[in-house]
Chains A and B, each alone.
Chain A
C-alpha cells in the first residue's frame, strides 16, 4: 500500500473510532437539518389548504359595499383565504373593530361602502386592514390579499390602510433574543475549562484528594461559572445597548414602527430574570456535559451540538406567535426548557401575558436546572471522574438511573 494510502487509512480509522468526530460529522448535520426541516414544514405546512400539516387560521371581514367592486373584492379575499387555509368570518364593521380592540383577531379587513364608487370615479379606493404584526401568517395573508386585489382591478388601484393590532417591536425582540443567546453561550468557556479542563490537565485527582466534599467543589465551580457568565452577559447588554442606540439614531424619524420602545421596570426585571435563569440552566446542563467529556474540546463540541437545538427554537419562537404553531411543535417547544427563556420575554414584552404564564416559564427552567445539577453532582461523584477505564458493576442498573442507586 502506498504511503498516502496508509496515512489516509489510519486517519479514517481514527475518525471512525472517535465518538466526537462521529458526533460532529454525522449526528450534528442530521439533527440540524431535521430541526430546520421540522420547523419550516410545520410553519409553511400549516398554510397549505389540504396538506398533512394544514392548520386553519381565522380572519374577519366586513363588506359594506354592495357594488360590483365590493363583490369582486370579497371573492378575491375568499379565494386567497381558501388557498392559504384561512377561514373567513364575515362580521359587521362595528363587531370587527371590537375584535380588533380586544385583540381577538389577527386579521380584520373592511371594504367600505364607497369602495366601488371611488374606484369608478377616481380609479383608486381604500380598504381598511388591521393586522397583528406578531403573526407572520396574518401579515403574509394580508399582503397576498392586497397584491391579488390590485392585480384583479387592473388599471385601477386599491390602497390598504394598515393598522397594527399588535406591534412587533423588532429591536426589543432582537435584544431579548441576543441576550438569551448570550446567556446560553456565556458560561461555556468557564464550565468546560473548569470541569473537563481539570480532567484534561489532570489536576482533578489532586483536587478530589483534598478534604473538601465534592459538593463544595461543585458549588465553587458553579459560582465561578455564574460569575464569568454574568460578566459575559453584562458586556453583551452594553454591546446591545450600543447597537440599539445606533439603530435608533440611524432610523430616527424614518422607521417609527421599528424603533425600540423603552422597557418598563417590570419588563426589564422579567428580561433580566429570564437571562439569569437561562444562565443557571446553561451552567447546569454544561456541568452534566463536562462530566462526560474527557477534554475541553470534547466538552465544547457536545455543548455546541446540544445547544444548537435550543438556539433554533429560540430563533423560531422569537419571531413567530407561539399559539400560531401547530400543537406538535408547541409541545416540543414547551418540553425544551431553554425555549421558556424566550417565551418568558415574549410574554412580558409582546403579548402582555398574565404573571402566571411568566411564573410558569421561570419555574419550568428552575426545575430543570435543579434536576440537571442533581444529575451533575451525581456524575461528579462517580469513579469515572478520575478513572478513564469503564467501570461496570455486575447486576447494576444501566444509564443515569444507576446514579441514584442506594449504596
Chain B
C-alpha cells in the first residue's frame, strides 16, 4: 500500500492554543479521504501543514514522498488546493484565472489551452469561461476554484469545504468530479462539515476534534465500532463525548 500523506505525531500550537495535538494519520494513494470535525477542530491547520504553508510545532509530515515543509516547493508541483476561504481574481475572466495558475504550475501553449478546456468542462463553466469572474455567482466562483485546484492534474487534491454554498446540481457535479479523480488514481483529501457529502464520496474518514484524532476508518467500520447507524450519529456521539 503506497502512502500519499503521512502525519506522524504532528502538533501545531498558536501561542497557548493547541490547534493540532499529536495527530497521526496515513492517507493512501488513490483514496478519497474525509477529514471531519466540528468548527475549530484543526482541519484547516492540518491541511495547511500538509501543503507546507504552516510548520508543525512538532512531529513529521511526508507528502508524496517529500518531507514537509523542507521539500514543500518540490511537493507542491503535485498538490492542488481549494482553501475553505478563498476567492478568484475578479477582474480576470474564468479562463484567464485558470491560465494564470496553469502557467504558475509550468503548463504552457497547447497543453495549457487543452487542460483549461478540460477543467472548464469538468466543472461546467465552459460557456461562461470568457466572462469576468467578478460577474460569476457564488456557486460559479466556487466551481472555478475547484477547477483552479486541479488545473495541473495534481496527484493530491485537497478540497476544504468544496460544496460550501453550492446548489444541489453543482454539489452532484463536484461529487462526480471527486469520484473521477479517485478513479484516475488521484488522492483526494476532503474536509467538510457536510456529513452526507463525506458518506457518499469518501473511502475512509478521520474524525478529529480539538486537534486530536477521535476515530479513523470506513463508514461501515465506524458504524460497527461505535454501534451507531449512519455517519452523523457516529460523529455526534464522538464529538459530544469528547466535549463532555
Query: How extensive is the interface on chain A, given as a class?
Result: 10 to 19
A-side contacts of B54, CB under 8 Å: 383, 386-387
Which chain A residue lies CB-closest to B74?
A: A211
Question: CB < 8 Å: which of B53, B73, B90 contacts A386?
Answer: B53
The contact string, 1 if C-beta is below 8 Å from chain B, for chain A 172-204, is 000000000000000000000000000001110
B-side contacts of A211, CB under 8 Å: 73-74, 76-77, 104-106
A391 within 8 A of B: yes
Q: How many angstroms from the CA of A309 to the CA of B14 in the assembled complex?
A: 36
Smallest CB–CB gap between A199 and chain B, Å? 11
A94 within 8 A of B: no
* Contact yes or no, A202 B83, CB < 8 A: yes
Q: How many angstroms from the CA of A233 to the CA of B147 in the assembled complex?
A: 39
Question: CB < 8 Å: which of A201, A205, A206, A390 contacts B101?
Answer: A206
Question: CB < 8 Å: which of A201, A210, A383, A390 contacts B104?
Answer: A210
A238 within 8 A of B: no
B-side contacts of A212, CB under 8 Å: 104
A353-407: which have CB < 8 Å to B? 383, 386-387, 389-392
* Contact yes or no, B81 A209, CB < 8 A: yes
A-side contacts of B74, CB under 8 Å: 211
A335 within 8 A of B: no
Given that A387-B54, A391-B15 are contacting pairs, would A209 and B86 also be in contact in the complex, using a CB cutoff of 8 Å? no
B80-130: which have CB < 8 Å to A? 81, 83, 85-90, 101, 104-106
* Contact yes or no, A205 B104, CB < 8 A: no
* Contact yes or no, A213 B87, CB < 8 A: no
Question: CB < 8 Å: which of B77, B83, B90 contacts A206?
Answer: B83
A-side contacts of B86, CB under 8 Å: 202-203, 205-206
Q: How many angstroms from the CA of A392 to the CA of B17 in the assembled complex?
A: 10
* Contact yes or no, B14 A201, CB < 8 A: no
Query: How extensive is the interface on chain B, given as a class?
Result: 20 to 34
The contact string, 1 if C-beta is below 8 Å from chain B, for chain A 240-252, is 0000000000000
B61 within 8 A of A: no
B48 within 8 A of A: yes
Smallest CB–CB gap between B54 and chain A, Å? 5
* Contact yes or no, A390 B77, CB < 8 A: no
B186 within 8 A of A: no
Q: How many angstroms from the CA of A165 to the CA of B241 in the assembled complex?
A: 89
Smallest CB–CB gap between B48 and chain A, Å? 7
Q: How many angstroms from the CA of A402 to the CA of B145 in the assembled complex?
A: 35
* Contact yes or no, A201 B83, CB < 8 A: no
* Contact yes or no, A210 B83, CB < 8 A: no
* Contact yes or no, A390 B15, CB < 8 A: yes
B148 within 8 A of A: yes
* Contact yes or no, B87 A202, CB < 8 A: yes
Q: How many angstroms from the CA of A205 to the CA of B88 in the assembled complex?
A: 11
A32 within 8 A of B: no
A208 within 8 A of B: yes
Smallest CB–CB gap between A166 and chain B, Å? 51
Q: How many angstroms from the CA of A202 to the CA of B53 in the assembled complex?
A: 14
B-side contacts of A391, CB under 8 Å: 14-15
B79 within 8 A of A: yes
Q: How many angstroms from the CA of A209 to the CA of B150 in the assembled complex?
A: 12
* Contact yes or no, A209 B17, CB < 8 A: no
Q: How many angstroms from the CA of A111 to the CA of B87 in the assembled complex?
A: 78
B51 within 8 A of A: yes
Which chain A residue lies CB-closest to B73?
A: A211
Q: How many angstroms from the CA of A206 to the CA of B100 in the assembled complex?
A: 12
* Contact yes or no, A209 B87, CB < 8 A: no
Which chain A residue lies CB-closest to B76?
A: A211
B178-234: which have CB < 8 Å to A? none
Q: How many angstroms from the CA of A369 to the CA of B233 in the assembled complex?
A: 59
* Contact yes or no, A205 B81, CB < 8 A: yes
Q: How many angstroms from the CA of A383 to the CA of B52 in the assembled complex?
A: 10
Question: CB < 8 Å: which of B48, B101, B145 contacts A210?
Answer: B101
* Contact yes or no, B14 A210, CB < 8 A: no
* Contact yes or no, B87 A203, CB < 8 A: yes
Question: CB < 8 Å: which of A203, A210, A213, A392 contacts B89?
Answer: A203
Q: How many angstroms from the CA of A205 to the CA of B145 in the assembled complex?
A: 12
B-side contacts of A203, CB under 8 Å: 86-89
The contact string, 1 if C-beta is below 8 Å from chain B, for chain A 196-240, is 000001110111111111000000000000000000000000000
The contact string, 1 if C-beta is below 8 Å from chain A, for chain B 1-41, is 00000000000001101010000000000000000000000
B-side contacts of A206, CB under 8 Å: 81, 83, 86, 101, 145, 148-149
Smallest CB–CB gap between A407 and chain B, Å? 9
B55 within 8 A of A: yes
* Contact yes or no, B79 A209, CB < 8 A: yes
Q: How many angstroms from the CA of A211 to the CA of B79 in the assembled complex?
A: 9
Smallest CB–CB gap between B44 and chain A, Å? 9
Q: How many angstroms from the CA of A105 to the CA of B77 in the assembled complex?
A: 69
Smallest CB–CB gap between A193 and chain B, Å? 10
Smallest CB–CB gap between B107 and chain A, Å? 11
Smallest CB–CB gap between B132 and chain A, Å? 14
Given that A210-B101, A210-B105, A383-B53 are contacting pairs, would A205 and B83 also be in contact in the complex, using a CB cutoff of 8 Å? yes
Q: How many angstroms from the CA of A210 to the CA of B105 in the assembled complex?
A: 6
A-side contacts of B17, CB under 8 Å: 389
A-side contacts of B87, CB under 8 Å: 201-203
Which chain B residue lies CB-closest to A216?
A: B104
Q: List, sorted by A's number, 13 A–B pairs whose CB atoms are closer than 8 Å.
A: A203-B87, A205-B86, A206-B81, A208-B53, A209-B51, A209-B79, A211-B104, A211-B105, A212-B104, A383-B54, A386-B48, A389-B17, A390-B15
Chain A contact residues, CB within 8 Å of chain B? 201-203, 205-213, 383, 386-387, 389-392
Interface contacts beyond A202-B83, A206-B81: sample of 14 additional A-B pairs, CB < 8 Å, sorted by A = A202-B85, A203-B86, A203-B89, A206-B148, A209-B53, A209-B79, A211-B73, A211-B106, A212-B104, A213-B73, A383-B53, A386-B48, A390-B14, A392-B15
